[in-house]
Each structure stands twice: as structure tokens, then as C-alpha cells.
Amino acid sequence: MSPARPDGQGSSAAAEGLAAIVAGALAEDIGSGDITTILTTDPETPGRAVIRSNQEGVLAGALAACIVFTTADPSLEVVSSIMDGARVAAGDTIMRIAGRGTSILTAERTALNFLQRMSGIATLTAEFVRLVEGTRAKITDTRKTAPGLRLTDKLAVRAGGGVNHRFGLYDMILIKDNHIAAAGGITAAVARCAGRTGMTVEVETKTPDQVAEALRCPGITRIMLDNFTVDSMREAVRMIGGRVEVEASGNVSLANVRAIAGTGVDFISVGALTHSAPALDLSLDYVSGPSRP
């Protein structure tokens, strides 16, 4: 069975996938027990907590954080104040939690880890998306995600306004340079993929000659321009002439993404969205005593 895809942030498939990831994250953190919380707190003492943003950004991971708390203790009450994809400012309340104080403290770091990482990815994605506004280009992610966190990373990209590239090795044919070398050339590699109808077939190219060869191959639906200069990219887009989709890739940054988008490409894939996004600064403040969230 293939892993759950982020086909919608509220979809049952995404929720099931998040539940599995959360279960593993909690097991990793808690192990045989939260020894500090066990020794310092009364398990029957009620508590409440508030998660706040300490900087401006785009929120992602609210569903994941809710699942963390309710998996750690189904009796916890969790109320999200801000939904994924919304902008937050410093001081904004994101979530309120109430119930057993020990459960809140035990789940705190895992919930914040999801929220901070995913919000950081969403915030960086939103900035790339802003910079290409008014062009045809869509910002897309890559498979350069944290192992085991592909679903959360890609959900975060969507929350930031980006689109998802292939989720894994199974849902799209992407013929890259090493496949081309192994097959004996672009033409031979594409020919081996013939008959796979209903699936995107993309070919990575590094030179104008490879673009021309790819265009002669029947059945491809997208050409990737890998590490092309802006000028050579513009010429390649002209050469392709709308016959297939065009994706730009390689060393894309906030400084050059606007120029890349101006060449007329359809997609710009950015590995930095998921491998280099700084975490958003969020914190949880805990208070003892009974209260509803």
C-alpha cells in the first residue's frame, strides 16, 4: 500500500497518515515514560496551556499538533484558534489545551516540533509564492524531505500556497540524469516507459540539445530544465513552445526566483522549502488549575 498523500489537509487519508507519524514521534520521545513529569507533577492535577506565535509567519501543523495531544491523552480538550494556511503575528494565540497537566507536559515538545517545522516550511513557501505572483509559475516541492515526514512536509508546502510534486517514487515517472545514463540516453529511457498511460512522464535535461531530444520523444508530459541559466531557460521555453509543461530546477533562491518565473516556466521546484526552512518561533505556556481551553 502506498503512503497517504496530502490530497487535502482535512482529508481522512491525510489524518490517518498524520496519526501514524504522530504515534511514532510520541513513542520516540516518551519511550518508557516521561520521567521528569512523573517525578515533578501530580497525575491528577488539571492544567491548561496556550500555544502562541513569537514571530510573524504562516501557520501549518495545527491538525498534527491536535492529534499529538489527543493521542497522548484522549481526554485532553484542544481548541485551535488559527487554521493552517493563515498568517500569524507575534503574540497570536494558536491553540489552547486543557486537561491532565501531566499529559500536556508530556506532549508539549512533540506538538511544538510539528507546528514549528511545518509552519517554517509554510512561511518560506509563502514567500516564494509571493515573489512569483503575476507569472504563470507555480512553486513546487521536491522529495528532499525529512525521512518519515514526507506527508507533514508536503502538507506544509500546500499550507504556504505551493503545490506538491510527486509524493514518492511510485506516482510519477521522472527520468533523471542517472536514469538516462543507465538506459543509454533520453530516447532509450523514454521508450522504456512507453505505455504507462495516465501518469506524468517528466524528463530532466541539462542542455538545449537534451531539450531537443526530449521533444522528439512521444509520451512525455513535462521537461525539467536543470541548472539552466535564466537566458538559456528562456530560450528553452521558446523552443518547447507550450507542447509540454516546463519545470525549472536547481539552485533556486528567493533572490532569483522572480527572474526564473519570468522565463515562462510552468513550475519551479525548490528543495529548500523542505530541507532548509527555519522553524517558526512558537512556544507553549502552561498554567496549573482547572479551566476549559
Do 110 and 142 lie in a common domain? no
Distance (Å, rounded) from C-alpha 60 to C-alpha 152? 9
Distance, CA of 256 to CA of 247 (rounded, Å): 15
Q: What is the mean pLDDT of residues 232-250?
A: 98
- Vertex 258, ends 256 and 259: CA angle to 5°? 70
pLDDT in the model for residue 292: 65
Q: CA 91, CA 54: separation in Å to the nearest integer?
A: 6
Question: Quick one: pLDDT at residue 15?
Answer: 87
| 210 or 44, greater pLDDT | 210
How many residues are given for the chain? 293
Establish if 68 belongs to a structural domain.
yes
pLDDT bin (cut points 50, 70, 90) of residue 163 is: very high
pLDDT at 14: 84
Active-site annotation holds for 204: yes
**Pair (45, 140) in one structural domain:** no
158 vs 30: CA distance, rounded Å: 30
User: Is 141 a domain residue?
Assistant: yes
Per-residue pLDDT, 9: 45
Whether 206 sits among the annotated catalytic residues: the reply is: no
Structural domain for 117, as ranges: 12-123+278-288
Catalytic residue at 144? yes
pLDDT on residue 290? 64
6 inside domain: no
> 92, 226, 247, 266: which one is catalytic?
226
Catalytic-role residue among 87, 96, 138, 144: 144
Q: Dump pLDDT digits (tens) for 242-256.
A: 999 999 999 999 999
Residue 8 confidence (pLDDT) above 90: no
Give mean pLDDT, residues 73-100: 97
Cα–Cα distance between 164 and 139 in angstroms, integer? 8
CA distance 125 to 284: 24
Q: Which residues contact 102 (CB under 8 A, 6 or more apart)?
A: 34, 37, 38, 41, 42, 43, 45
Q: To the nearest whole number, what is the mean pLDDT of the chain?
A: 94
Tell me which residue of 225, 226, 227 sits closest to 237, measured CA to CA. Answer: 225
Yes or no: say if 171 and 2 are a contact pair by the CB < 8 Å rule.
Answer: yes
How does pLDDT run across 253-289, given as a tens digit for each residue?
999 999 999 999 999 999 999 999 999 999 999 987 6
- Do 271 and 283 reside in the same domain of the chain? no
Interval 45-67: pLDDT, tens: 999 999 999 999 999 999 999 99
Q: Are 69 and 19 members of one domain?
A: yes
pLDDT at 44 (0 to 100): 87
Say whether both 217 and 257 belong to one domain: yes
* Predicted pLDDT at 1: 46
Q: Which of 130, 143, 176, 258 is catalytic?
A: 176
Q: Residue 31 belongs to a domain with what CATH number? A: 3.90.1170.20
From residue 112, alpha-carbon distances to 48, 53, 95, 165 in Å are 15, 11, 11, 26
Q: Whole-model pTM?
A: 0.94
For residues 33 and 112, give the distance between their C-alpha atoms in angstroms, rounded to a whole number. Answer: 19
Q: Which helix (H) or strand (E) holds 8?
A: none
State the total domains in the chain. Answer: 2
Catalytic residue among 52, 87, 96, 109: 109
Task: Please report the pLDDT score of residue 291 as a whole number.
Answer: 58
Catalytic residue among 92, 204, 247, 266: 204
